[in-house]
Structure 1
Amino acid sequence: MVDEVIRQFGLKTHSMYEVEDSYSSTVYRCTLSRGENVFLKIPYSKLKFQRELEAYEILKGRVSIPELLDYWHGDDECPGAFLISELKGSPLTTKVSPTIAFQVGVLQAEMHNIRPPADNVLTGIQNEFPNWSDFVEKQFYSFAEDVKDVLEHHVNKQAIEKFEKMKNQLPAPDGPSFVHMDFRPANIIVDGDKVSGLIDFESVRFGSTEMDFTKLYRDFLRFDPALYSSFKEGYNTIRPLIDLDIVLPFYQFTDAFNSIGWCQRRGIEKNALFLEENLVRLKGFLK
Protein backbone atom coordinates (compact mmCIF):
# COMPACT_ATOMS: atom_id res chain seq x y z
CA MET A 1 0.00 0.00 0.00
CA VAL A 2 2.80 2.42 0.91
CA ASP A 3 4.57 1.71 -2.38
CA GLU A 4 1.38 2.54 -4.26
CA VAL A 5 0.97 5.81 -2.33
CA ILE A 6 4.54 6.79 -3.16
CA ARG A 7 3.85 6.01 -6.81
CA GLN A 8 0.64 8.06 -6.80
CA PHE A 9 2.51 11.10 -5.47
CA GLY A 10 5.50 10.56 -7.75
CA LEU A 11 7.96 10.74 -4.87
CA LYS A 12 11.66 10.01 -5.06
CA THR A 13 12.58 9.14 -1.48
CA HIS A 14 16.05 8.97 -0.01
CA SER A 15 14.86 7.45 3.27
CA MET A 16 11.66 6.91 5.23
CA TYR A 17 10.52 5.55 8.58
CA GLU A 18 7.21 5.01 10.32
CA VAL A 19 6.28 7.62 12.92
CA GLU A 20 5.51 6.42 16.45
CA ASP A 21 2.63 7.76 18.55
CA SER A 22 0.22 7.66 15.60
CA TYR A 23 -2.61 5.40 16.70
CA SER A 24 -5.35 5.77 14.09
CA SER A 25 -3.28 6.26 10.95
CA THR A 26 -0.13 4.99 9.32
CA VAL A 27 2.34 7.89 9.08
CA TYR A 28 5.78 7.95 7.45
CA ARG A 29 8.41 10.66 7.62
CA CYS A 30 10.13 10.78 4.25
CA THR A 31 13.35 12.50 3.24
CA LEU A 32 13.18 13.18 -0.48
CA SER A 33 16.14 12.88 -2.81
CA ARG A 34 16.50 16.69 -2.82
CA GLY A 35 16.74 16.75 0.99
CA GLU A 36 13.22 17.97 1.84
CA ASN A 37 11.25 16.25 4.62
CA VAL A 38 7.57 15.45 4.08
CA PHE A 39 5.01 13.17 5.72
CA LEU A 40 2.87 10.47 4.16
CA LYS A 41 -0.33 9.77 6.05
CA ILE A 42 -2.74 6.91 5.37
CA PRO A 43 -5.87 7.26 7.54
CA TYR A 44 -7.58 4.32 9.21
CA SER A 45 -10.79 4.68 7.16
CA LYS A 46 -12.45 6.60 4.33
CA LEU A 47 -14.38 8.68 6.88
CA LYS A 48 -11.18 9.73 8.66
CA PHE A 49 -9.66 10.61 5.27
CA GLN A 50 -12.64 12.83 4.42
CA ARG A 51 -12.61 14.51 7.85
CA GLU A 52 -8.94 15.37 7.54
CA LEU A 53 -9.33 16.66 3.98
CA GLU A 54 -12.17 18.97 5.01
CA ALA A 55 -10.24 20.11 8.09
CA TYR A 56 -7.33 21.31 5.95
CA GLU A 57 -9.76 23.33 3.84
CA ILE A 58 -11.45 24.86 6.89
CA LEU A 59 -8.31 25.60 8.95
CA LYS A 60 -6.06 26.93 6.18
CA GLY A 61 -5.13 30.56 6.87
CA ARG A 62 -6.98 30.56 10.21
CA VAL A 63 -4.91 28.22 12.39
CA SER A 64 -1.24 27.32 12.07
CA ILE A 65 -1.12 23.89 10.40
CA PRO A 66 1.14 22.09 7.91
CA GLU A 67 0.63 22.61 4.20
CA LEU A 68 -1.35 19.92 2.43
CA LEU A 69 0.91 19.31 -0.57
CA ASP A 70 -1.20 16.64 -2.28
CA TYR A 71 -3.81 13.99 -1.58
CA TRP A 72 -5.12 10.81 -3.16
CA HIS A 73 -8.66 9.50 -2.72
CA GLY A 74 -7.41 5.93 -2.62
CA ASP A 75 -8.83 2.73 -4.09
CA ASP A 76 -10.30 -0.58 -2.90
CA GLU A 77 -7.12 -1.34 -0.97
CA CYS A 78 -6.27 2.10 0.41
CA PRO A 79 -8.74 4.51 2.12
CA GLY A 80 -6.78 7.51 0.82
CA ALA A 81 -3.52 9.29 1.57
CA PHE A 82 -2.04 12.72 2.24
CA LEU A 83 1.29 14.30 1.42
CA ILE A 84 1.97 16.89 4.12
CA SER A 85 4.72 19.44 4.67
CA GLU A 86 6.91 19.30 7.78
CA LEU A 87 6.26 21.71 10.64
CA LYS A 88 9.62 22.74 12.08
CA GLY A 89 10.16 21.52 15.63
CA SER A 90 9.11 18.61 17.82
CA PRO A 91 6.05 17.63 19.90
CA LEU A 92 5.16 19.66 22.98
CA THR A 93 6.56 18.50 26.33
CA THR A 94 6.09 19.66 29.91
CA LYS A 95 9.63 21.10 29.85
CA VAL A 96 8.65 24.37 28.17
CA SER A 97 8.25 27.95 29.30
CA PRO A 98 4.96 29.62 30.25
CA THR A 99 5.33 31.56 26.98
CA ILE A 100 4.79 28.33 25.05
CA ALA A 101 1.78 27.42 27.21
CA PHE A 102 0.34 30.88 26.44
CA GLN A 103 0.73 30.21 22.70
CA VAL A 104 -0.90 26.80 23.06
CA GLY A 105 -3.90 28.56 24.61
CA VAL A 106 -4.04 31.00 21.70
CA LEU A 107 -3.78 28.15 19.19
CA GLN A 108 -6.64 26.21 20.71
CA ALA A 109 -8.84 29.28 21.09
CA GLU A 110 -8.28 30.24 17.43
CA MET A 111 -9.47 26.78 16.46
CA HIS A 112 -12.45 26.95 18.81
CA ASN A 113 -13.46 30.28 17.29
CA ILE A 114 -14.26 28.53 14.00
CA ARG A 115 -17.96 27.86 13.50
CA PRO A 116 -19.65 25.43 11.10
CA PRO A 117 -19.58 26.88 7.57
CA ALA A 118 -22.97 28.15 6.47
CA ASP A 119 -22.30 27.80 2.74
CA ASN A 120 -20.40 24.52 2.59
CA VAL A 121 -21.90 21.06 2.91
CA LEU A 122 -19.51 18.77 4.76
CA THR A 123 -19.61 15.00 4.28
CA GLY A 124 -16.84 14.03 6.73
CA ILE A 125 -16.94 16.48 9.65
CA GLN A 126 -20.16 16.10 11.58
CA ASN A 127 -21.82 18.90 13.57
CA GLU A 128 -22.55 17.17 16.87
CA PHE A 129 -23.35 20.35 18.81
CA PRO A 130 -27.17 20.36 18.50
CA ASN A 131 -27.25 16.94 20.19
CA TRP A 132 -24.05 17.18 22.22
CA SER A 133 -25.30 15.30 25.26
CA ASP A 134 -26.47 12.44 23.04
CA PHE A 135 -23.07 12.40 21.28
CA VAL A 136 -21.17 12.11 24.57
CA GLU A 137 -23.54 9.41 25.77
CA LYS A 138 -23.31 7.46 22.52
CA GLN A 139 -19.50 7.50 22.70
CA PHE A 140 -19.52 6.32 26.31
CA TYR A 141 -21.94 3.45 25.82
CA SER A 142 -20.24 2.36 22.61
CA PHE A 143 -16.98 1.90 24.53
CA ALA A 144 -18.91 0.37 27.44
CA GLU A 145 -19.48 -2.72 25.27
CA ASP A 146 -15.70 -3.21 25.21
CA VAL A 147 -15.03 -2.10 28.79
CA LYS A 148 -17.33 -4.77 30.25
CA ASP A 149 -14.88 -7.41 29.03
CA VAL A 150 -12.05 -5.74 31.00
CA LEU A 151 -13.54 -4.49 34.27
CA GLU A 152 -15.04 -6.48 37.12
CA HIS A 153 -18.84 -6.39 36.94
CA HIS A 154 -19.29 -4.27 40.09
CA VAL A 155 -16.66 -1.73 38.94
CA ASN A 156 -18.27 -1.44 35.52
CA LYS A 157 -21.69 -0.92 37.12
CA GLN A 158 -20.26 1.74 39.44
CA ALA A 159 -18.67 3.55 36.47
CA ILE A 160 -21.94 3.64 34.52
CA GLU A 161 -23.82 4.99 37.55
CA LYS A 162 -21.19 7.69 38.03
CA PHE A 163 -21.37 8.67 34.36
CA GLU A 164 -25.14 9.18 34.52
CA LYS A 165 -24.90 11.22 37.72
CA MET A 166 -22.09 13.50 36.50
CA LYS A 167 -23.60 13.97 33.03
CA ASN A 168 -26.73 15.49 34.55
CA GLN A 169 -24.65 18.07 36.43
CA LEU A 170 -22.92 19.54 33.36
CA PRO A 171 -23.56 23.18 32.34
CA ALA A 172 -24.87 24.12 28.90
CA PRO A 173 -22.34 23.18 26.19
CA ASP A 174 -20.03 25.84 24.71
CA GLY A 175 -20.18 26.12 20.93
CA PRO A 176 -20.70 25.16 18.22
CA SER A 177 -16.94 25.18 17.72
CA PHE A 178 -14.37 23.31 15.68
CA VAL A 179 -13.02 20.74 18.15
CA HIS A 180 -9.92 18.64 17.54
CA MET A 181 -10.94 15.67 19.74
CA ASP A 182 -7.25 14.66 20.14
CA PHE A 183 -5.70 17.95 21.30
CA ARG A 184 -2.66 16.52 23.11
CA PRO A 185 1.07 17.29 23.21
CA ALA A 186 1.97 14.78 20.46
CA ASN A 187 -0.14 16.80 18.03
CA ILE A 188 1.23 20.24 18.99
CA ILE A 189 4.59 21.08 17.39
CA VAL A 190 7.00 23.46 19.14
CA ASP A 191 10.16 25.02 17.72
CA GLY A 192 12.28 26.73 20.37
CA ASP A 193 10.22 29.52 21.92
CA LYS A 194 7.44 29.28 19.33
CA VAL A 195 4.49 26.96 18.70
CA SER A 196 4.78 25.94 15.04
CA GLY A 197 1.28 24.57 14.74
CA LEU A 198 -1.17 21.70 15.05
CA ILE A 199 -1.40 18.34 13.27
CA ASP A 200 -3.73 15.32 12.93
CA PHE A 201 -7.35 16.13 12.06
CA GLU A 202 -8.94 12.75 11.43
CA SER A 203 -11.19 12.86 14.51
CA VAL A 204 -12.39 16.48 14.33
CA ARG A 205 -16.00 17.54 14.82
CA PHE A 206 -18.07 20.63 15.35
CA GLY A 207 -19.23 20.43 18.93
CA SER A 208 -18.67 21.76 22.43
CA THR A 209 -15.24 23.01 23.43
CA GLU A 210 -15.52 21.35 26.85
CA MET A 211 -14.30 17.92 25.65
CA ASP A 212 -11.24 19.34 23.90
CA PHE A 213 -9.30 20.27 27.06
CA THR A 214 -9.23 16.77 28.53
CA LYS A 215 -6.12 15.25 26.94
CA LEU A 216 -4.15 18.50 27.12
CA TYR A 217 -4.84 18.69 30.84
CA ARG A 218 -4.07 14.98 31.32
CA ASP A 219 -0.71 15.10 29.52
CA PHE A 220 0.47 18.71 29.99
CA LEU A 221 -1.44 21.30 32.02
CA ARG A 222 -1.85 19.43 35.31
CA PHE A 223 1.89 19.13 35.94
CA ASP A 224 2.69 22.82 36.44
CA PRO A 225 0.37 25.55 37.77
CA ALA A 226 2.43 28.22 35.96
CA LEU A 227 1.87 26.53 32.59
CA TYR A 228 -1.82 26.08 33.35
CA SER A 229 -2.19 29.75 34.26
CA SER A 230 -0.37 30.92 31.13
CA PHE A 231 -2.45 28.62 28.94
CA LYS A 232 -5.66 30.14 30.31
CA GLU A 233 -4.31 33.67 29.78
CA GLY A 234 -3.49 32.90 26.16
CA TYR A 235 -6.86 31.30 25.49
CA ASN A 236 -8.73 34.26 26.99
CA THR A 237 -7.02 36.70 24.62
CA ILE A 238 -9.03 35.11 21.78
CA ARG A 239 -12.28 33.94 23.39
CA PRO A 240 -13.64 33.41 26.92
CA LEU A 241 -12.50 30.16 28.50
CA ILE A 242 -15.21 28.04 30.11
CA ASP A 243 -14.94 27.09 33.78
CA LEU A 244 -12.72 24.02 33.48
CA ASP A 245 -13.07 23.18 37.16
CA ILE A 246 -16.72 22.31 36.48
CA VAL A 247 -16.38 20.23 33.30
CA LEU A 248 -12.92 18.64 33.52
CA PRO A 249 -13.77 16.05 36.22
CA PHE A 250 -16.53 14.59 34.04
CA TYR A 251 -14.43 14.47 30.87
CA GLN A 252 -11.36 13.13 32.69
CA PHE A 253 -13.51 10.32 34.02
CA THR A 254 -15.09 9.51 30.64
CA ASP A 255 -11.69 9.75 28.93
CA ALA A 256 -10.29 7.09 31.27
CA PHE A 257 -13.31 4.84 30.75
CA ASN A 258 -13.38 5.27 26.97
CA SER A 259 -9.62 4.73 26.74
CA ILE A 260 -10.01 1.33 28.41
CA GLY A 261 -12.55 0.42 25.74
CA TRP A 262 -10.20 1.70 23.03
CA CYS A 263 -7.41 -0.55 24.33
CA GLN A 264 -9.73 -3.54 24.24
CA ARG A 265 -10.68 -2.76 20.63
CA ARG A 266 -7.15 -2.16 19.41
CA GLY A 267 -5.49 -4.97 21.33
CA ILE A 268 -4.79 -5.21 25.05
CA GLU A 269 -1.31 -6.67 24.71
CA LYS A 270 0.13 -3.94 22.49
CA ASN A 271 -1.60 -1.22 24.52
CA ALA A 272 -0.94 -2.74 27.94
CA LEU A 273 0.80 0.31 29.44
CA PHE A 274 -1.92 2.73 28.31
CA LEU A 275 -4.57 0.32 29.58
CA GLU A 276 -2.97 0.11 33.02
CA GLU A 277 -2.66 3.91 33.24
CA ASN A 278 -6.37 4.31 32.55
CA LEU A 279 -7.43 1.53 34.90
CA VAL A 280 -5.59 3.35 37.69
CA ARG A 281 -7.16 6.67 36.69
CA LEU A 282 -10.67 5.23 36.48
CA LYS A 283 -10.49 3.52 39.85
CA GLY A 284 -9.16 6.75 41.35
CA PHE A 285 -12.24 8.59 40.06
CA LEU A 286 -14.51 5.90 41.50
CA LYS A 287 -13.11 6.15 45.04
Structure 2
Amino acid sequence: MLHRVIQQFGLRVQSINEVEDSHSSTVYKCTLSNSENVFLKIPYTKLKCQREFEAYELLKGSISIPDMLDYWSGDLECPGAFLLSELKGKPLTSEASPSVAFQVGVLHAEMHTIRPPAVQVLTGIQNEFTNWSNFVEHQFYSFAEDVRDVLDAQLYKQAIVKFEEMKRWLPSPDGPSFIHMDFRSANIIVDGNKVSGIIDFESVRFGSTEIDFTKLFRDFLRFDTTLYKAYREGYKSIRPLIDLEMVLPFYRFTDAFNSIGWCKRRGIEKNALFLKQNVESLKKFLL
Protein backbone atom coordinates (compact mmCIF):
# COMPACT_ATOMS: atom_id res chain seq x y z
CA MET A 1 0.00 0.00 0.00
CA LEU A 2 2.88 2.37 0.79
CA HIS A 3 4.29 1.99 -2.72
CA ARG A 4 0.86 2.59 -4.23
CA VAL A 5 0.52 5.82 -2.23
CA ILE A 6 4.00 6.97 -3.27
CA GLN A 7 3.08 6.28 -6.86
CA GLN A 8 -0.27 8.05 -6.45
CA PHE A 9 1.50 11.23 -5.30
CA GLY A 10 4.27 10.91 -7.89
CA LEU A 11 7.05 11.14 -5.31
CA ARG A 12 10.74 10.55 -5.90
CA VAL A 13 11.80 9.15 -2.54
CA GLN A 14 15.34 8.96 -1.21
CA SER A 15 14.57 7.31 2.15
CA ILE A 16 11.53 6.19 4.19
CA ASN A 17 11.14 5.73 7.95
CA GLU A 18 7.97 4.71 9.76
CA VAL A 19 6.90 7.02 12.59
CA GLU A 20 6.49 4.89 15.72
CA ASP A 21 4.24 6.96 18.01
CA SER A 22 1.19 6.96 15.73
CA HIS A 23 -1.80 4.97 16.99
CA SER A 24 -4.66 5.63 14.57
CA SER A 25 -2.75 5.87 11.30
CA THR A 26 0.33 4.53 9.58
CA VAL A 27 2.74 7.43 9.14
CA TYR A 28 6.01 7.56 7.21
CA LYS A 29 8.65 10.28 7.15
CA CYS A 30 10.04 10.50 3.64
CA THR A 31 13.12 12.31 2.42
CA LEU A 32 12.64 13.20 -1.22
CA SER A 33 15.31 13.29 -3.91
CA ASN A 34 15.58 17.09 -3.42
CA SER A 35 16.33 16.47 0.33
CA GLU A 36 12.93 17.84 1.41
CA ASN A 37 11.18 15.99 4.24
CA VAL A 38 7.48 15.19 3.93
CA PHE A 39 5.09 12.85 5.71
CA LEU A 40 2.79 10.22 4.25
CA LYS A 41 -0.19 9.43 6.42
CA ILE A 42 -2.58 6.53 5.85
CA PRO A 43 -5.46 6.49 8.39
CA TYR A 44 -6.85 3.12 9.49
CA THR A 45 -10.42 3.84 8.38
CA LYS A 46 -12.38 5.97 5.92
CA LEU A 47 -14.00 7.85 8.81
CA LYS A 48 -10.65 8.78 10.36
CA CYS A 49 -9.47 9.87 6.93
CA GLN A 50 -12.53 12.08 6.41
CA ARG A 51 -12.14 13.64 9.86
CA GLU A 52 -8.51 14.44 9.16
CA PHE A 53 -9.34 15.96 5.77
CA GLU A 54 -12.10 18.15 7.19
CA ALA A 55 -9.86 19.23 10.08
CA TYR A 56 -7.19 20.50 7.68
CA GLU A 57 -9.83 22.45 5.80
CA LEU A 58 -11.26 23.96 9.02
CA LEU A 59 -7.97 24.80 10.73
CA LYS A 60 -6.05 26.10 7.71
CA GLY A 61 -5.03 29.71 8.28
CA SER A 62 -6.22 29.72 11.90
CA ILE A 63 -4.04 27.16 13.68
CA SER A 64 -0.41 26.22 13.10
CA ILE A 65 -0.62 22.80 11.40
CA PRO A 66 1.26 21.03 8.59
CA ASP A 67 0.37 21.99 5.04
CA MET A 68 -1.73 19.39 3.24
CA LEU A 69 0.37 19.14 0.08
CA ASP A 70 -1.81 16.48 -1.54
CA TYR A 71 -4.67 14.16 -0.73
CA TRP A 72 -5.90 10.87 -2.15
CA SER A 73 -9.42 9.71 -1.29
CA GLY A 74 -8.37 6.08 -1.61
CA ASP A 75 -10.13 3.06 -3.06
CA LEU A 76 -11.53 -0.28 -1.91
CA GLU A 77 -8.17 -1.33 -0.48
CA CYS A 78 -6.86 1.99 0.88
CA PRO A 79 -8.94 4.32 3.13
CA GLY A 80 -7.09 7.33 1.72
CA ALA A 81 -3.79 9.11 2.23
CA PHE A 82 -2.27 12.51 2.95
CA LEU A 83 0.96 14.13 1.82
CA LEU A 84 1.93 16.59 4.55
CA SER A 85 4.66 19.14 5.05
CA GLU A 86 7.08 18.85 7.96
CA LEU A 87 6.65 20.94 11.09
CA LYS A 88 10.17 21.77 12.22
CA GLY A 89 11.13 20.43 15.61
CA LYS A 90 10.41 17.50 17.91
CA PRO A 91 7.50 16.43 20.14
CA LEU A 92 6.95 18.35 23.35
CA THR A 93 8.74 17.04 26.48
CA SER A 94 8.69 17.86 30.19
CA GLU A 95 12.02 19.64 29.67
CA ALA A 96 10.22 22.48 27.89
CA SER A 97 10.47 26.05 29.16
CA PRO A 98 7.60 28.05 30.70
CA SER A 99 7.59 30.09 27.47
CA VAL A 100 6.82 26.94 25.49
CA ALA A 101 4.12 25.91 27.98
CA PHE A 102 2.55 29.37 27.58
CA GLN A 103 2.54 28.94 23.78
CA VAL A 104 0.95 25.50 24.13
CA GLY A 105 -1.82 27.13 26.16
CA VAL A 106 -2.31 29.78 23.47
CA LEU A 107 -2.43 27.15 20.71
CA HIS A 108 -4.91 25.01 22.63
CA ALA A 109 -7.20 27.95 23.36
CA GLU A 110 -7.06 29.14 19.75
CA MET A 111 -8.19 25.70 18.65
CA HIS A 112 -11.04 25.80 21.17
CA THR A 113 -12.31 29.10 19.73
CA ILE A 114 -13.22 27.33 16.49
CA ARG A 115 -16.96 26.62 16.32
CA PRO A 116 -18.99 24.32 14.06
CA PRO A 117 -19.30 25.94 10.61
CA ALA A 118 -22.67 27.55 9.91
CA VAL A 119 -22.78 26.62 6.22
CA GLN A 120 -20.28 23.83 5.53
CA VAL A 121 -21.70 20.31 5.92
CA LEU A 122 -19.29 17.96 7.69
CA THR A 123 -19.57 14.19 7.20
CA GLY A 124 -16.53 13.14 9.24
CA ILE A 125 -16.34 15.48 12.23
CA GLN A 126 -19.35 14.92 14.45
CA ASN A 127 -20.87 17.60 16.69
CA GLU A 128 -21.33 15.84 20.03
CA PHE A 129 -21.94 18.96 22.13
CA THR A 130 -25.72 18.87 22.43
CA ASN A 131 -25.59 15.28 23.71
CA TRP A 132 -22.27 15.60 25.54
CA SER A 133 -23.18 13.51 28.56
CA ASN A 134 -24.38 10.70 26.30
CA PHE A 135 -21.18 10.90 24.24
CA VAL A 136 -18.96 10.54 27.32
CA GLU A 137 -21.11 7.70 28.63
CA HIS A 138 -21.12 5.90 25.28
CA GLN A 139 -17.32 6.10 25.05
CA PHE A 140 -16.92 4.72 28.57
CA TYR A 141 -19.30 1.80 28.19
CA SER A 142 -18.04 0.86 24.73
CA PHE A 143 -14.56 0.41 26.21
CA ALA A 144 -16.07 -1.30 29.27
CA GLU A 145 -16.79 -4.36 27.15
CA ASP A 146 -13.03 -4.75 26.63
CA VAL A 147 -12.02 -3.69 30.14
CA ARG A 148 -14.18 -6.42 31.64
CA ASP A 149 -11.85 -9.01 30.10
CA VAL A 150 -8.75 -7.42 31.66
CA LEU A 151 -9.68 -6.40 35.22
CA ASP A 152 -10.78 -8.69 38.01
CA ALA A 153 -14.52 -8.61 38.61
CA GLN A 154 -14.42 -6.61 41.86
CA LEU A 155 -12.17 -3.89 40.45
CA TYR A 156 -14.29 -3.66 37.31
CA LYS A 157 -17.48 -3.28 39.38
CA GLN A 158 -15.85 -0.55 41.50
CA ALA A 159 -14.89 1.35 38.35
CA ILE A 160 -18.45 1.29 37.01
CA VAL A 161 -19.84 2.58 40.31
CA LYS A 162 -17.13 5.28 40.45
CA PHE A 163 -17.96 6.47 36.94
CA GLU A 164 -21.65 6.85 37.72
CA GLU A 165 -20.89 8.72 40.96
CA MET A 166 -18.36 11.15 39.44
CA LYS A 167 -20.44 11.85 36.35
CA ARG A 168 -23.13 13.53 38.48
CA TRP A 169 -20.74 16.30 39.56
CA LEU A 170 -19.69 17.48 36.12
CA PRO A 171 -20.40 21.16 35.35
CA SER A 172 -22.31 22.34 32.30
CA PRO A 173 -20.30 21.58 29.14
CA ASP A 174 -18.09 24.32 27.65
CA GLY A 175 -18.57 24.76 23.93
CA PRO A 176 -19.32 23.79 21.28
CA SER A 177 -15.63 23.89 20.47
CA PHE A 178 -13.27 22.09 18.13
CA ILE A 179 -11.63 19.45 20.36
CA HIS A 180 -8.60 17.42 19.38
CA MET A 181 -9.36 14.38 21.61
CA ASP A 182 -5.66 13.39 21.51
CA PHE A 183 -3.98 16.63 22.60
CA ARG A 184 -0.85 15.08 24.06
CA SER A 185 2.88 15.80 24.01
CA ALA A 186 3.59 13.54 21.02
CA ASN A 187 1.21 15.57 18.86
CA ILE A 188 2.64 19.00 19.78
CA ILE A 189 5.78 19.91 17.85
CA VAL A 190 8.35 22.24 19.39
CA ASP A 191 11.37 23.79 17.68
CA GLY A 192 13.75 25.10 20.32
CA ASN A 193 11.80 27.65 22.34
CA LYS A 194 8.96 27.93 19.85
CA VAL A 195 5.86 25.78 19.34
CA SER A 196 5.71 24.87 15.65
CA GLY A 197 2.19 23.49 15.72
CA ILE A 198 -0.02 20.47 16.25
CA ILE A 199 -0.55 17.25 14.27
CA ASP A 200 -2.95 14.29 14.02
CA PHE A 201 -6.64 14.99 13.64
CA GLU A 202 -8.27 11.60 13.07
CA SER A 203 -10.15 11.68 16.40
CA VAL A 204 -11.41 15.28 16.41
CA ARG A 205 -14.97 16.32 17.29
CA PHE A 206 -16.99 19.36 18.17
CA GLY A 207 -17.83 19.10 21.83
CA SER A 208 -16.99 20.32 25.32
CA THR A 209 -13.44 21.55 25.98
CA GLU A 210 -13.37 19.76 29.35
CA ILE A 211 -12.23 16.45 27.84
CA ASP A 212 -9.36 17.98 25.90
CA PHE A 213 -7.04 18.80 28.83
CA THR A 214 -6.74 15.23 30.09
CA LYS A 215 -3.86 13.79 28.07
CA LEU A 216 -1.80 16.98 28.16
CA PHE A 217 -2.11 16.96 31.96
CA ARG A 218 -1.26 13.25 32.09
CA ASP A 219 1.85 13.52 29.91
CA PHE A 220 3.11 17.06 30.56
CA LEU A 221 1.40 19.51 32.91
CA ARG A 222 1.27 17.46 36.11
CA PHE A 223 5.05 17.18 36.42
CA ASP A 224 5.86 20.87 36.97
CA THR A 225 3.64 23.50 38.59
CA THR A 226 5.58 26.28 36.83
CA LEU A 227 4.74 24.81 33.43
CA TYR A 228 1.14 24.23 34.49
CA LYS A 229 0.81 27.88 35.56
CA ALA A 230 2.41 29.13 32.32
CA TYR A 231 0.09 26.95 30.23
CA ARG A 232 -2.96 28.27 32.08
CA GLU A 233 -1.83 31.87 31.57
CA GLY A 234 -1.34 31.24 27.86
CA TYR A 235 -4.76 29.66 27.51
CA LYS A 236 -6.52 32.45 29.44
CA SER A 237 -4.88 35.07 27.23
CA ILE A 238 -7.16 33.80 24.42
CA ARG A 239 -10.35 32.55 26.12
CA PRO A 240 -11.68 31.77 29.63
CA LEU A 241 -10.40 28.54 31.16
CA ILE A 242 -12.85 26.20 32.86
CA ASP A 243 -12.25 24.96 36.41
CA LEU A 244 -9.80 22.17 35.63
CA GLU A 245 -9.68 20.99 39.24
CA MET A 246 -13.38 20.20 38.95
CA VAL A 247 -13.26 18.19 35.72
CA LEU A 248 -9.77 16.67 35.57
CA PRO A 249 -10.34 13.95 38.24
CA PHE A 250 -13.31 12.59 36.28
CA TYR A 251 -11.60 12.69 32.88
CA ARG A 252 -8.31 11.34 34.21
CA PHE A 253 -10.24 8.43 35.70
CA THR A 254 -12.15 7.74 32.47
CA ASP A 255 -8.95 8.13 30.44
CA ALA A 256 -7.25 5.42 32.51
CA PHE A 257 -10.29 3.15 32.21
CA ASN A 258 -10.75 3.72 28.46
CA SER A 259 -7.02 3.28 27.85
CA ILE A 260 -7.20 -0.20 29.39
CA GLY A 261 -9.91 -1.03 26.86
CA TRP A 262 -7.81 0.50 24.09
CA CYS A 263 -4.89 -1.77 25.04
CA LYS A 264 -7.17 -4.80 24.88
CA ARG A 265 -8.33 -3.83 21.38
CA ARG A 266 -4.86 -3.03 20.07
CA GLY A 267 -3.05 -5.96 21.71
CA ILE A 268 -2.20 -6.50 25.39
CA GLU A 269 1.32 -7.81 24.77
CA LYS A 270 2.19 -5.01 22.35
CA ASN A 271 0.92 -2.36 24.79
CA ALA A 272 1.88 -4.07 28.07
CA LEU A 273 3.64 -1.07 29.62
CA PHE A 274 0.83 1.36 28.78
CA LEU A 275 -1.69 -1.15 30.12
CA LYS A 276 0.22 -1.52 33.40
CA GLN A 277 0.43 2.27 33.83
CA ASN A 278 -3.30 2.68 33.35
CA VAL A 279 -4.29 -0.18 35.63
CA GLU A 280 -2.13 1.37 38.35
CA SER A 281 -3.69 4.79 37.73
CA LEU A 282 -7.19 3.33 37.88
CA LYS A 283 -6.46 1.61 41.19
CA LYS A 284 -5.25 4.91 42.68
CA PHE A 285 -8.51 6.60 41.71
CA LEU A 286 -10.54 3.77 43.19
CA LEU A 287 -8.59 3.74 46.43
Query: Deviations along 1:51-70, whole A, 9 cap, x unmatched?
Result: 00000000001000010000
User: Is 1:2 the equivalent of 2:12?
Assistant: no
Partner residue in 2 for 1:284: 284
Counterpart Cα distance in 1 of 2:256 and 2:83: 33
User: Is 1:171 the equivalent of 2:179?
Assistant: no
Q: Tell me, which stretches of 5 or more residues in structure 2 are unaligned?
A: none
Q: Output the amino acid matched with 1:27.
A: V
Partner residue in 1 for 2:111: 111
Pairs within 5 Å for 1:42-61: 42-61=42-61
Counterpart Cα distance in 1 of 2:232 and 2:202: 26
Counterpart Cα distance in 2 of 1:97 and 1:262: 32
Residue 160 of structure 1 deviates from its aligned partner by: 0.3
Partner residue in 2 for 1:84: 84
Q: Tell me, which stretches of 5 or more residues in structure 1 are unaligned?
A: none
Tell me the secondary structure at the aligned position of residue 28 of structure 1: strand
Let me know the Cα RMSD of the aligned residues: 0.3
Tell me the secondary structure at the aligned position of residue 248 of structure 1: helix
Partner residue in 2 for 1:121: 121
Tell me the secondary structure at the aligned position of residue 83 of structure 1: strand
Query: Deviations along 1:22-54, whole A, 9 cap, x unmatched?
Result: 011100000000000000000010000000000
Query: Deviations along 1:185-243, whole A, 9 cap, x unmatched?
Result: 00000001100000000000000000000000000000000000000000000000000
Counterpart Cα distance in 2 of 1:93 and 1:20: 16
Partner residue in 1 for 2:251: 251
Counterpart Cα distance in 2 of 1:96 and 1:154: 41
User: Is 1:265 the equivalent of 2:265?
Assistant: yes
Partner residue in 1 for 2:148: 148
Pairs within 5 Å for 1:112-261: 112-261=112-261
Counterpart Cα distance in 1 of 2:132 and 2:244: 17
Tell me the secondary structure at the aligned position of residue 96 of structure 1: coil
Query: Deviations along 1:133-158, whole A, 9 cap, x unmatched?
Result: 00000000000000000000111000
**TM-score, normalization by structure 1:** 1.00
Tell me the secondary structure at the aligned position of residue 131 of structure 1: helix
Query: Deviations along 1:84-119, whole A, 9 cap, x unmatched?
Result: 000000000000110000000000000000000001
Counterpart Cα distance in 2 of 1:2 and 1:202: 19
Pairs within 5 Å for 1:58-69: 58-69=58-69
Counterpart Cα distance in 2 of 1:270 and 1:67: 32
Q: Output the amino acid matched with 1:216.
A: L
Q: Output the amino acid matched with 1:49.
A: C
Counterpart Cα distance in 2 of 1:72 and 1:97: 38
Query: Deviations along 1:253-282, whole A, 9 cap, x unmatched?
Result: 000000000000010000000000000000
Percent of matched pairs sharing the same residue: 75
Residue 246 of structure 1 deviates from its aligned partner by: 0.1
Residue 124 of structure 1 deviates from its aligned partner by: 0.1
Query: Deviations along 1:125-181, whole A, 9 cap, x unmatched?
Result: 000000000000000000000000000011100000000000011000000000000
Q: Which runs of 4+ in 1 moved over 3 A?
A: none
Number of aligned residue pairs = 287
Tell me the secondary structure at the aligned position of residue 203 of structure 2: coil
Counterpart Cα distance in 2 of 1:191 and 1:237: 22
Q: Output the amino acid matched with 1:273.
A: L
